[in-house]
Amino acid sequence: MFLCKNNNKFLINNNIYCLFIRNFSKKIKKNENKDESIISNSGSGNGPYVTKEYDSYKIHKPVFIKEVLEILDPKPNNVYIDATFGLGGHSRGILESCKDCYVIAFDRDPNVFELTKDLRTQYKDRLITIGSRFSSMKSALKDHNLENLKISGILFDYGVSSYQIDTAERGFSFKKELEGPLDMRMNNKNTSQLSAADIVNTFSEQELRDIFYHLGEEKHTRKIAHEILRKRAFGEKIETTSQLVKVVECCMPYPAASKTISRIFRSLRMYVNDELGEIKYGLREADDILSPGSPLLAISFHSMEDRIVKQYLNNNGLKSDYDTINNNNVIKYELPKSSKHTSPIFPSDEELEWNPRSKSAILRWAVRTQNK
């Protein structure tokens, strides 16, 4: 028997850890609809990982698909959640691997559902797609009368989809050939949410420096933020991706500018979409939803994402906060007779050759323990 101050647990490396989340009071201002629709019709199937409607990216390459299927081990009549649907590569892989299982897929980008009509036609009622943030999975399931389903596995893939990166109008890329509006919103139809351009053109110099430093891990924040404010003082707005690139280039010598540009764009994207907050709240939602004995998988693409997943699963650096709030809530749990444990998984040489964008990916997973 083990003592632990929470009723939601995961088993990792034969140890029981409390899973909980801090209360994050500082959230960016937004009013995005949590839940848009369930879509399950129209289109035509094209075989594994092919997305016909997206001509410039016909072959979708889901990262760690082999490992994901091995860990989930889909079985007939089981229900799995793909918390980050994108172009549906992981969902398709799950549905293809077991002819009688089901997938509930979440994505806050409404555009992806138009691009994946073929999947919904091919798999019919085996694939349910919900327009929602994964940080709101629990309420979204309830809104669609799905809250009583037993969930046998949940997958998070925190990477920005290739569709979003390669579509100039979305404003995610700093490549010259993909110049577009400085947007970066995952849901670009939500007009009440701040875009990257709104932030660059209205935030103070110190606020910009904080974003670049804390989310982009960029050292040369003063020069860049100061140059942005200088242009604003002369009435120059920064409204396109190429305009922001030029600001950074004038502050940094080549070739250092290239990495700095990447970090600046990443920091703005993460702030606009509250990506770290989404990860933290999404893990808590998974904790509430996932059935005992079922795996949770999280694919990260940089150290900040991976650190949150690792700390959440291992309870590192957070225990004191929980103890203070819940010092009288002690629940007993029994160690399951058998369990899977997790160490970080990195892309194989085969994966890197097949999918170069998986280079920085890390997969962590854990199995929720049985309750007594």
Q: Where are the alpha helices (DSSP H) in the chain?
A: 65-72, 89-97, 111-115, 117-123, 137-143, 162-166, 196-202, 205-214, 221-233, 241-251, 256-272, 275-289, 303-314, 319-325, 349-354
Q: What is the pLDDT of residue 11?
A: 42
The contacts of residue 68 (CB under 8 Å, 6+ apart) are 62, 90, 93, 94, 155, 297, 363
- How confident is the model at residue 234, as a pLDDT? 96
pLDDT the model gives residue 231:
97
CATH architecture of 187-272: Orthogonal Bundle (1.10)
- Residue 338's Cβ-count burial label (10 Å; 0-12, 13-18, 19+) is exposed
Q: What is the pLDDT of residues 33-85, one digit of tens each?
A: 444 333 333 233 333 333 334 443 345 689 999 999 999 999 999 999 999 99
Q: Domain boundaries in the chain?
A: 2-163+275-368, 187-272
Give me the pLDDT at residue 40, please.
35
Strand partners, 38: 130
pLDDT given for residue 133 in this prediction? 95
- What is the radius of gyration, based on Cα positions, of the chain? 21
The residues of the chain scoring below 50 in pLDDT are 1-58, 316-341, 372
In which element (H, E) is residue 107 found? strand 102-107
Q: Could you tell me if 21 and 283 are in contact, meaning their C-beta atoms sit under 8 angstroms apart?
A: yes
The pLDDT score that the predictor gives to residue 61 is 81
According to DSSP, the β-strands at 102-107 and 79-82 are: parallel
Instruction: State both tokens at 287.
Output: 């904790």
What would the DSSP string read from start to end of 268-328? HHHHHTTHHHHHHHHHHHHHHHBPTT-EEEEEESSHHHHHHHHHHHHTTTTHHHHHHH-TT
Provide the edge-to-edge strand list for the sheet that holds 362-368.
Answer: 15-18, 9-12, 362-368, 295-300, 151-157, 79-82, 102-107, 127-131, 38-39
Tell me the C-alpha distance between 243 and 30, whole Å: 25
Contact (CB, 8 A) for 200 and 225: no
Q: Is the distance from CB of 163 to CB of 115 less than 8 angstroms?
A: yes
> Backbone phi, then psi, for 12, in 5-degree steps?
-135, 125
- Label the pairing between strands 295-300 and 2-4: unpaired
Per DSSP, the three-state class of 128 is strand
Domain 2-163+275-368: which topology?
Answer: Rossmann fold (3.40.50)
Residue 36 has φ and ψ, to the nearest 5°, of -100, -55
What's the pLDDT score for residue 31?
40
pLDDT for position 354: 87
Which two three-digit tokens encode residue 221?
A: 């924040």
Pick the closest to residue 153 from 227, 71, 88 (CA basis). 71
Rounded Cα gap, residues 40 and 85, in angstroms: 14
pLDDT the model gives residue 252? 86
Helices then strands, counting H and E runs in the chain, come out as 15, 11
Report how far residue 84's alpha carbon sits from residue 130's, in angstroms, rounded to the nearest whole number: 10
